[in-house]
Amino acid sequence: MQKPFYILLVYFTIIALTASPQNYTGGARSAALSDAFISVSDTWSTFHNQATLAQLNRFSAGVYYESKYGIDEFALAATSVVLPTGAGTFGLSFYQFGKGTFKEHKIGFAYAKQLSERFNAAVQFDYLAQRMPENADAFSFVTFEIGATYQLTEQITLGAHTYNPVKNGFNYPEEKTKLPAAYRLGAHYAFAEHVLVSLETQKESDHDVVVRSGLEFMPLENLALRFGISGRPVQYTAGLGYSFKNISTDIAFSYHGNLGFTPSVSIQYNIK
């Protein structure tokens, strides 16, 4: 089959399955690691495991853009803001998927707290909205996420996260939907400050288990090279990151055997 057929198939599948929107992730660093990011901490933890926000001690903010399979209608734009305080770490996140008459939005408010020397926990409340071509008004619902991390050793950190455990969904005129819960479990191993290996599994309540893995290598202090692989279906990812003073930039590419490449980029600002 040719690529245009798969593109049309994905387009109509997304429209047909809009009752089950994905919980999209943000950040080109995580994208380059195939989103094996459940125990890793950075500005984009608001989109992965909010418990890792407790490891951040400086204000940070970022913007992200992804062009899925190079199709403009599948564009994803996102932003994340992280504010550590003496009472815990607060996070604010937003994304928009789609353009024109079909759009999905999500706003998240997160709170993370270090409960012991090794254990962190967090909760995030989400507002999701969806606008479809055949409806003048948007549909929306509220749900939440919970996450935790545990530092097993100086090198190994474990992470666990649950999205939408109550299976809330959109109330359409024709029916009331229940969206699946998603469970993520994983860990990463940090070799000094130059190499990081991550592994993660995800299980949605109505889908098979997905396994993700990622490798980050820093040949220079301010330059990172990243690679990842995940399935099913199998997708390969790669990217790099560069930091200069308070600004860091990441780019990533993922490859699907039938649909092609998905480029993404993010820029972060960190107060040091």
Alpha-carbon gap, residue 219 to 135, rounded angstroms = 52
In this structure, what DSSP letter does residue 162 have?
E
Q: What is the pLDDT of residue 114?
A: 97
Alpha-carbon gap, residue 89 to 254, rounded angstroms = 31
Region 146-157 average pLDDT: 97
Q: What is the pLDDT of residue 134?
A: 62
Q: Is the dihedral of CA 271, 61, 91, 113 positive or negative?
A: negative
Whether the per-residue pLDDT at 135 is higher than 70: the answer is no
In this structure, what DSSP letter does residue 176 have?
B
- Label residues 175-210 b or e (16+ Cβ within 10 Å = b): eebbbbbbbbbbbbebeeeeebbbbbebebeeeeeb
Pairing of strands 60-67, 260-270: antiparallel
Least confident of 4-8, 181-185, 268-272: 4-8
The fold for domain 3-270 equals Porin (2.40.160)
Region 239-251 average pLDDT: 97
Q: Tens of pLDDT along 32-86?
A: 999 999 999 999 999 999 999 999 999 999 999 999 888 888 899 999 999 999 9
Whether the per-residue pLDDT at 107 is higher than 80: the answer is yes
Whether the per-residue pLDDT at 8 is higher than 60: the answer is no
The better pLDDT of the pair 272, 104 is held by 104
Q: What is the pLDDT of residue 188?
A: 98
Alpha-carbon gap, residue 220 to 236, rounded angstroms = 24
Confidence band, pLDDT 50/70/90 cuts, at residue 27 = very high
Alpha-carbon gap, residue 228 to 213, rounded angstroms = 6
Alpha-carbon gap, residue 234 to 226, rounded angstroms = 17
Confidence band, pLDDT 50/70/90 cuts, at residue 126 = very high
Query: Tokens 């948007």 belong to which residue?
Result: 138
Alpha-carbon gap, residue 36 to 256, rounded angstroms = 17
Q: Is 0.75 topped by the overall pTM? A: yes
163: how many CB neighbours lie within 10 A of its CB? 20
Domain boundaries defined on the chain? 3-270
Max distance between CA atoms of the chain, in angstroms, equals 57
Classify burial at 47, counting beta carbons within 10 Å of its beta carbon; exposed 0-12, middle 13-18, buried 19 or more: buried
Helices (H), 33-187: none
Which amino acid, one-letter code, is at 80?
S
